[in-house]
């Protein structure tokens, strides 16, 4: 591909389709070429280079750098996907997704949030929440529009906004306030060009959730400023202390919210790639205008699996959540004993401790922990500049493995202290 | 169920220090609770779950259906408890349906199991007939599926 391009450029300069457009030095669109390399991707390369096998001391890599459950998808879900293939369910589904699945989604969302959507035209099955987010941004954002979101945040937010020629506006959240989003900060970040408020609670990587007061204030702000709200609630079913609040259930929110949820995290179905968007009819219609051309539909066997998960997966889902809760308790206690301050995550499956006290940057910390103790954690700056000084430790691993990881972390920190004293 | 029991059912070797951190209590409290649960018979014991094909030891396992004549007042209990005392017997259940007791029996050889059935079990007063089924292969034991383990397929780093 690379060679052919070079040759064709050498033989004849590529004619520009639009002579009025300014010249560029690559076949790649400038806004794509300008996308930063994902910090996760960079760290992945580092881990891959280090290998996962045992080192000279026989220690294998323990990865707390994963963004997915360590559980396999429940067998009844996998079995149903196989059965759907055996029955020959291999064709397209309707653009919006299989109707029985949309109906089950509408029931589930109503049970969880108290807000009801019409499966006929207010629910869209997507290829994971990632596609839902892409559709929502493409449907809501015009070039130059601003999208406000909280940071540290999921790695794709700023790039996804840039891809629709919008302007990403990150509002930092701090451990001092438990990584809660301050509505006053959001208000200050808003300008007349602000169109979308993008929320992710429970939050990857901080584990923060929405409290009632913040949800109310953000809802009022969205109404006053006439903002669309995109609620990325992929971790909604994974809250540990009390049921998570959804901005959706606040007054005035149903009309202006695109709710994005999915099956990846709470049902341990990342590889199936099924998510969904719920929104008022005219918004789902807008998302579907793009979806019908760009994707047609989510994979049919994966949709069958998702339907099975909603129909019979409740007990398994709750059992996994209970496991995460115990692991959360273990990891936060262990981090506290190690002297790494950590906001107790109320949801998702990540701890986001501060490593600022070690004097290392988050990248140095992660690279040295990997090299010296074969434990992988994600440098906090991968989640935006305000993540610097932190690392993300997923507790989607068995307790014995987490224990071993915390033990190695203790050795690593002791080594750092010895090094400093010298 | 008590979350402590749930954790032990996952892995009985989990140390009290780890259990304490997961449950938000102290190791001493965990040890005390464990002793209580052992004393009152909630926890009957701790065993390793083995894949017989890898231990290098031949074992013959059988499931035996037993029909019985129940006794006045005692029902099946007295004889069932007597059967349960044999070392060869690993589990005894009272069943509904066409037979009364279901036994899981183990021995070193086929002859040993056959001897147990013919000499010890069938001759018990109250036992009217037995039907023995030898186990050929295990695919899952005590909730643990026995399957070839491949290398981890998950990406070591993901967003």
Q: pLDDT tens-digit profile of B22-64?
A: 999 999 999 999 999 999 999 999 999 998 888 988 899 999 9
Closest by Cα among A392, A265, A281, A273 to A340: A392
Query: What single-letter DSSP state applies at residue B117?
Result: I
- pLDDT for res A22: 66
How far apart are the CA of B32 and the nearest CA of chain A, in angstroms? 20
> Which residue of B6, B13, B21 is the best one to mutate when testing the A interface, meaning the one whose CB has the most A CBs within 10 A?
B21
| Inter-residue contact A151 to A172 (CB < 8 Å) | yes
* Residues of chain B found within 8 Å of residue A68, distances taken between Cβ atoms: 154, 158
pLDDT tens digits, one per residue of B125-153: 999 999 999 999 999 998 888 887 665 57
Domain ranges for chain B, please list them. Answer: 3-39, 53-137
- pLDDT for res A10: 45
Beta bridge partners of B127: B68
CA distance A175 to A173: 7
Retrieve residue A283's tokens. Answer: 């918004």
| Inter-residue contact B67 to B100 (CB < 8 Å) | yes
- pLDDT for res A244: 78
Pairing of strands A378-379, A375-376: unpaired
Q: Does A403 touch chain B (CB under 8 A)?
A: yes
CA distance A219 to A229: 9
Retrieve residue A295's tokens. Answer: 């994707």
For chain A, report the end-to-end CA distance as a whole number of angstroms.
53
- pLDDT for res A116: 97
| C-beta atoms of A66 and B155 within 8 A | yes
CA distance A306 to A78: 10
CA distance B3 to B9: 10
The yes or no reply on domain A91-312 and CATH 3.30.43.10 is no
Say how many CB pairs under 8 Å bridge A and B.
66
What element of type H or E holds B66? Answer: strand B60-68
Q: Tokens 């059992």 — which residue?
A: A319
* Residues of chain B found within 8 Å of residue A398, distances taken between Cβ atoms: 11
Domain ranges for chain A, please list them. Answer: 91-312
Retrieve residue A199's tokens. Answer: 């929320």
- pLDDT for res A185: 98
Retrieve residue A260's tokens. Answer: 């994005």
- pLDDT for res A4: 45
Q: Does A227 touch chain B (CB under 8 A)?
A: no
CA distance A289 to A297: 12
Beta bridge partners of A391: A379
| C-beta atoms of A63 and B23 within 8 A | no
| C-beta atoms of A378 and B157 within 8 A | yes
The complex's ipTM works out to 0.78
Closest by Cα among A385, A392, A322, A387 to A353: A392
CA distance A373 to A62: 9
List the pLDDT tens digit at each of the 422 positions of chain A.
344 444 444 444 555 555 566 677 789 999 999 998 888 888 999 999 988 888 888 899 999 999 999 999 999 999 999 999 999 999 999 999 999 999 999 999 999 999 999 999 999 999 999 999 999 999 999 999 999 999 999 999 999 999 999 999 999 999 999 999 999 999 999 999 999 999 999 999 999 999 999 999 999 999 999 999 999 999 999 999 988 789 999 999 999 999 999 999 999 999 999 999 999 999 999 999 999 999 999 999 999 999 999 999 999 999 999 999 999 999 999 999 999 999 999 999 999 999 999 999 999 999 999 999 999 999 999 999 999 999 999 999 999 999 999 999 999 999 999 988 77
| C-beta atoms of B24 and A329 within 8 A | yes
pLDDT at B87 > cutoff 70: yes
- pLDDT for res A69: 94
* Residues of chain A found within 8 Å of residue B156, distances taken between Cβ atoms: 44, 47-48, 52, 61, 63, 65-66, 376
- pLDDT for res A221: 98
- pLDDT for res A25: 79
Half-sphere exposure for A202 (CA within 13 Å, toward CB) = 23
Query: What single-letter DSSP state applies at residue A292?
Result: H
CATH class in words for B53-137? alpha beta
Pairing of strands B127-134, B60-68: antiparallel
* Cβ atoms within 10 Å, residue A171: 21
pLDDT at B97 > cutoff 60: yes
- The CATH number, out of the four listed (1.10.10, 1.10.1060, 1.10.357, 1.10.3470), of the domain defined by the range B3-39: 1.10.10
- pLDDT for res A123: 98
How far apart are the CA of A325 and the nearest CA of chain B, in angstroms? 8
What is the DSSP secondary-structure string of A23-72? P-SSSS-HHHHTSPPPHHHHHHHHHHHH-SS--TT-PPPEE---SS-SSP
* Residues of chain A found within 8 Å of residue B18, distances taken between Cβ atoms: 330, 399-400, 403
* Mean of the per-residue pLDDT values of chain B: 93
Q: A residues 59-98 near B, CB within 8 Å? A: 61, 63, 65-68, 70
């Amino acid at each position: 591909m690379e060679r052919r391009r070079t040759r064709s450029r050498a033989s004849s300069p590529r004619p520009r389709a639009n002579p009025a457009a300014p010249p560029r030095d690559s076949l790649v669109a400038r806004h794509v070429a300008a996308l930063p390399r994902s910090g996760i991707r960079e760290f992945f390369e580092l881990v891959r280079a280090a290998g996962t096998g045992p080192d000279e001391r026989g220690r294998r890599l323990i990865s707390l750098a994963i963004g997915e459950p360590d559980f396999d998808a429940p067998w009844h879900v996998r079995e149903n996907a196989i059965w759907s293939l055996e029955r020959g369910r291999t064709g397209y589904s309707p653009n919006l997704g299989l109707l029985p699945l949309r109906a089950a989604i509408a029931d589930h969302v109503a049970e969880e949030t108290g807000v009801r959507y019409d499966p006929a035209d207010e629910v869209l099955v997507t290829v994971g929440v990632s596609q839902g987010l892409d559709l929502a941004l493409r449907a809501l954002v015009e070039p130059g529009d601003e999208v406000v979101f909280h940071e540290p945040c999921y790695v794709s937010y700023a790039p996804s906004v840039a891809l629709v020629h919008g302007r990403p506006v990150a509002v930092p959240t701090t451990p001092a306030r438990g990584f809660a989003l301050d509505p006053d900060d959001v208000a200050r970040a808003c300008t007349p060009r602000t169109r979308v408020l993008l929320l992710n609670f429970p939050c990857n990587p901080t584990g923060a959730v929405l409290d009632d007061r913040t949800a109310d204030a953000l809802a009022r702000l969205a109404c006053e400023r006439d903002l669309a709200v995109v609620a990325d609630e992929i971790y909604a079913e994974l809250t540990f202390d009390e049921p998570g609040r959804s901005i959706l259930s606040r007054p005035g929110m149903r009309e202006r919210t695109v709710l994005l949820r999915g099956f990846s995290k709470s049902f341990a179905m990342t590889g199936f790639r099924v998510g969904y968007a719920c929104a008022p009819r005219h918004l789902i219609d807008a998302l579907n205008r793009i979806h019908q051309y760009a994707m047609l539909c989510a994979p049919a066997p994966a949709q069958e699996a998702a339907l099975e998960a909603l129909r019979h997966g409740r007990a398994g889902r709750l059992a996994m959540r209970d496991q995460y809760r115990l692991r959360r308790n273990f990891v936060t206690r262990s981090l506290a004993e190690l002297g790494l301050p950590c906001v107790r995550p109320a949801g998702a499956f990540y701890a986001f401790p501060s490593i600022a006290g070690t004097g290392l940057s988050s990248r140095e910390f992660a690279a040295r922990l990997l090299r010296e103790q074969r434990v992988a954690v994600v440098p906090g700056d991968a989640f935006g500049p305000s993540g610097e000084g932190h690392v993300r430790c997923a507790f989607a691993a068995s307790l014995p493995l987490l224990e071993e990881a915390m033990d190695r972390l203790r050795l690593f920190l002791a080594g750092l202290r010895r090094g400093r004293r010298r | 169920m008590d979350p402590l029991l749930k954790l032990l059912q996952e892995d009985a070797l989990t140390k009290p220090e780890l259990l304490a951190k997961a449950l938000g209590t102290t190791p001493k409290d965990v040890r005390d609770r464990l002793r209580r649960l052992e004393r009152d018979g909630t926890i009957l014991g701790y065993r390793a779950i083995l894949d017989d094909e890898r231990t290098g030891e031949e074992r013959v396992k059988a499931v035996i259906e037993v029909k019985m004549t129940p006794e006045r007042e005692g029902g099946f209990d007295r004889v069932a408890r007597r059967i349960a005392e044999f070392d060869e017997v690993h589990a005894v259940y009272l069943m509904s349906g066409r037979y009364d007791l279901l036994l899981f029996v183990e021995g070193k050889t086929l002859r040993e199991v056959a001897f147990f059935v013919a000499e010890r079990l069938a001759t018990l007063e109250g036992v009217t007939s037995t039907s023995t089924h030898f186990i050929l292969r295990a695919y899952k034991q005590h909730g643990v599926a026995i399957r070839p383990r491949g290398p981890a397929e998950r990406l070591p780093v993901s967003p």
